[in-house]
């Protein structure tokens, strides 16, 4: 599962109907560690023609906490969500965002997000929104979230929520190669307690990203110099200039290969590096 553990404590609670026998059965199985039976019962709940939003939520919670392969539940969850009354869909929409984000299905996350964020929206939803926009490459929409997240940081009552939102901002600035700002944000996290690990990793990775970017800049410069080189004005022995560029290119390519081992392609995209 891709659920960030440090976000779970900010998930809004929903009262689960204890009068629903299937929900009670599912929770009983879950309580004694009978995860397979709990998941089977969750599937029964989601398969019903009519569900209260609370029952849907209870089943989804069991699935997200006990299932390793959320992908195989997507169709079942979507069908069950589609059968809910509109008011119930509104109640559990946040949980659908969390579920699809945990599946890495960010296109669906984007569809479920509110068109406009208000003060009444869960601040955590801004983090999921930024995740989705960056994953989908929708950088203009991600940029529009930046001031909203800034306001969210000021409004957040808990330091942990402030740090989560700060991490979302750092991810944005890293992606658009404003690495100085990203580094400052990650440094602030590294000096705290709740997301120090994320901050430290960000600072280390940004150093690798900057080194890769410098190597790429060097390779482009070598190619430009080769094309503009005039042998008539060569200051060294004939052929030496070409040899110098070849040696430098080899040096840079060796560094690039080593750096790319440190930072796989998926991580490079996080820093706006192709």
> What tens-digit pLDDT sequence spans the chain (274 residues)?
344 545 555 666 555 656 788 898 998 998 898 989 999 999 999 999 999 888 999 999 899 888 888 999 999 999 999 999 999 999 899 999 999 999 999 999 999 998 877 665 678 899 999 999 999 999 999 999 999 999 999 988 888 999 999 999 999 999 999 999 999 999 999 998 889 999 999 999 999 999 999 999 999 999 998 887 666 555 554 557 788 889 999 999 999 999 999 999 989 999 998 7
* The pLDDT of residue 2: 41
Give the whole-angstrom CA distance, residue 181 versus residue 15. Answer: 41
* The pLDDT of residue 118: 67
Give the whole-angstrom CA distance, residue 187 versus residue 267. Answer: 19
* The pLDDT of residue 250: 94
* The pLDDT of residue 200: 95
Within 84-123, residue ranges assigned H as helices are 86-103, 106-112
**How far, CA to CA in Å, does 239 sit from each of 129, 229, 243, 252?**
55, 12, 6, 20
* The pLDDT of residue 14: 57
Within the chain, residue ranges assigned H as helices are 21-31, 35-47, 53-66, 74-83, 86-103, 106-112, 124-135, 139-155, 159-175, 179-190, 196-228, 240-262, 265-270
* The pLDDT of residue 211: 95
* The pLDDT of residue 123: 86
Give the whole-angstrom CA distance, residue 259 versus residue 273. Answer: 12
CB atoms within 10 A of CB 36: 9
* The pLDDT of residue 228: 77
């Amino acid at each position: 599962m891709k659920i960030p553990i440090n976000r779970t404590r900010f998930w809004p609670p929903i009262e689960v109907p204890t009068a629903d026998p299937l929900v009670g059965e599912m929770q009983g199985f879950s309580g004694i560690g009978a995860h397979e039976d709990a998941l089977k019962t969750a599937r029964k709940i989601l398969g019903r023609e009519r569900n209260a939003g609370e029952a849907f939520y209870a089943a989804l919670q069991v699935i997200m906490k006990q299932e390793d392969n959320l992908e195989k539940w997507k169709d079942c969850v979507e069908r069950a969500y589609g059968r809910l009354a509109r008011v119930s869909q509104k109640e559990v929409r946040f949980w659908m965002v969390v579920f699809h984000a945990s599946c890495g299905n960010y296109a669906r996350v984007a569809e479920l997000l509110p068109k406009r964020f208000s003060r009444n929206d869960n601040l955590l939803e801004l983090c999921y929104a930024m995740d989705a926009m960056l994953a989908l490459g929708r950088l203009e929409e991600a940029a529009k979230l930046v001031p909203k997240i800034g306001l969210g940081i000021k409004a957040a009552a808990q330091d942990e929520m402030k740090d989560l939102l700060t991490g979302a901002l750092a991810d944005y600035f890293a992606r658009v190669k404003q690495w100085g700002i990203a580094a400052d944000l990650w440094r602030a996290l590294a000096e705290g307690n709740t997301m120090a690990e994320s901050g430290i990793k960000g600072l280390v990775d940004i150093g690798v990203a900057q080194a890769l970017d410098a190597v790429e800049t060097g390779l482009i410069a070598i190619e430009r110099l080769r094309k503009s080189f005039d042998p008539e004005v060569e200051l060294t022995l004939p052929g030496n200039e070409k040899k110098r560029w070849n040696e430098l290119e080899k040096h840079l390519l060796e560094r690039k290969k080593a750096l790319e081992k440190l930072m796989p392609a998926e991580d490079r995209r996080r820093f706006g590096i192709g």
